[in-house]
Structure 1
């Protein structure tokens, strides 16, 4: 069984895009894997590039942990931990920082995009070196498959370059070359405005919000100005595209036919999407709200995972230190 590793930043409860593209496929892989072959972490260190309030990050961490468990993650089968609890990863990131070319990192798509959208005075070094810490997350455990969204593909390529560089420099296969794992169906989940679903764009559908907020989010999905009576194109409508990601084929075809015939309004389509989300994720929502009342239990689960991950990380880092001519750590 190949080693799988993935993580989600603790920027709040996972939205529908996170769930479809990362959580559901990762849980499926992890629950079928052998022990210690799946690593799932909450990337609270990564979250600091956008959130300065540590209390907010901590609460968000609970929401992420509760979401993973609500979707059935078997913690006996994988290492489930908080990134900051295994701080050895930051040491490896520093080594990578010292060897990876500055010019290559400047070309990172995500960084260039942030440069256009954020006041340059507010861009931190952490934002710039984000891909390096991500590479350390992956390479510290010699992970082989990384479930990611399409926007993270370049970061996986950076991790691959770093692994290849070190292997060549040392003359030994010290790092496994990781590969991205994409769910083709869900590799790009649209937000309510038709752009990629993202908390920073405030275009999310949050299935773990209250019924009232969830309904408001869905009612905010952008549509054209066609009247109820007019025929509509189900292939380009955002409501229909989201519905197609979660509903069974027969229900999808029924809704598409209503679009083509006319006499079916966008309000009705939004209500159908809302009701199906409530139905489809009813168990997960109930489990999530229950777990959020048991934060000491979540802390316990994450601490157990961190202890196991730390043992593996320390052994790996000692091996890396040996090749860099540093002393081992106890």
Structure 2
């Protein structure tokens, strides 16, 4: 396998917002399109609709199909190319659960209970009970990654514990079931520390969340964006237009830093601090900047939104391609284990 290989995924939550765009999709597209000096691809990329993972926090699957189509539509609009990157539903590639079962035998419950990311989730979601599936979701993640021989895992620093669990499982499997030449079926994946551009919610909360109603959707048009931006939290110390502002504490200014040109950002910062720029005009400028960046995405999105059967065909094709890779890996796993 000459290229580095990456598997990335999201739970099917429906239409995505600009936080998803800056925090994940941009990186996905960059990895997909990255090249080496001879013009070849730097990474083989696979994109997973993590529908089994969604069950760890909610058993309600009423809208999972619609949410999947809406989410994948946004992926395609943002630049994920199904010719380069298979897009597929986790539940349609049964080898994920087969490898998950094997891997679950290689790690203890106490090790999973020490996972700091799990502890954070339990705290943030105010969970009173923890299901077996939720406890074991890092094991399913390990199966997701290693099923496609993923050897590079783009993560923020807070996700490194998950990569370490995947590395431990790969190491344990290789030691327990070595191949005839002494090598192992799996390569231990390396974390690729990636800076994810995270956006505050419109209400100034730590992150955008549809459940909090503080998002701008990728599918929102200019009027919707402007309407939502009017409610965005700014500098609470800037009461009147001519009051000097503090951009470093303003949610809208943080959006300018991502979506407006650098010279515009510098001018906005100066005029805000001096009191020359009021919040209403600042929000109008920010709305226009976001709308400009999303315009090409809207044009692409319209193509797929009007043709949901095309999106389904893309998934079916991606699942067939993913299944081929997954079954090849499972044949190696069964052979090493002398099963089947």
TM-score using structure 1 length: 0.89
Q: 1:321, 1:203 → 2: CA distance?
A: 48
* Residue 281 (1) aligns with residue 294 (2): yes
Q: 1:271, 1:64 → 2: CA distance?
A: 28
Pairing partner for 1:60 from 55, 64, 67:
67
* Change in 2 beyond 3 A, CA 1:221/1:169: farther
Pairing partner for 2:118 from 97, 106, 111:
111
Q: Deviation digits for residues 108-154 of structure 1, max 9, x if unmatched?
A: 23322232244545643332222111111111111122334554333
The answer for the alignment partner of 2:25 in structure 1 is: 23
* Change in 2 beyond 3 A, CA 1:201/1:106: farther
| Number of equivalences | 326
After alignment, is 190-199 or 273-282 more displaced?
Answer: 190-199
Pairing partner for 1:90 from 85, 89, 97:
97
* Change in 2 beyond 3 A, CA 1:99/1:61: same
The answer for the alignment partner of 2:109 in structure 1 is: 102
* Residue 139 (1) aligns with residue 146 (2): yes
The answer for the alignment partner of 1:222 in structure 2 is: 233
After alignment, is 186-195 or 280-289 more displaced?
Answer: 186-195
The answer for the alignment partner of 1:203 in structure 2 is: 214
After alignment, is 187-196 or 294-303 more displaced?
Answer: 187-196
Q: 2:327, 2:221 → 1: CA distance?
A: 42
Structure 2 residue runs without a partner (length 5+)? 36-40
Pairing partner for 2:192 from 163, 178, 181:
181
Q: Is the 8 A contact 2:6 2:150 kept in 1?
A: yes
Pairing partner for 1:260 from 273, 278, 283:
273
**Aligned pairs for 1:309-320 within 5 A:** 309-320=322-333
After alignment, is 253-262 or 154-163 more displaced?
Answer: 154-163
Q: 2:207, 2:172 → 1: CA distance?
A: 33
Shift of 1:319: 0.8
Give 4+ residue runs of structure 1 displaced > 6 Å after superposition: none
Shift of 1:296: 1.0
Q: 2:161, 2:212 → 1: CA distance?
A: 21
* Residue 272 (1) aligns with residue 279 (2): no
* Change in 2 beyond 3 A, CA 1:36/1:205: same
* Residue 190 (1) aligns with residue 203 (2): no
Q: 1:157, 1:202 → 2: CA distance?
A: 34
The answer for the alignment partner of 2:38 in structure 1 is: none
Q: Is the 8 A contact 2:138 2:162 kept in 1?
A: yes
Residue 27 of structure 1 aligns to a residue in which SS?
helix
Structure 1 residue runs without a partner (length 5+)? none
The answer for the alignment partner of 2:79 in structure 1 is: 72
TM-score using structure 2 length: 0.86
Q: 2:307, 2:158 → 1: CA distance?
A: 34
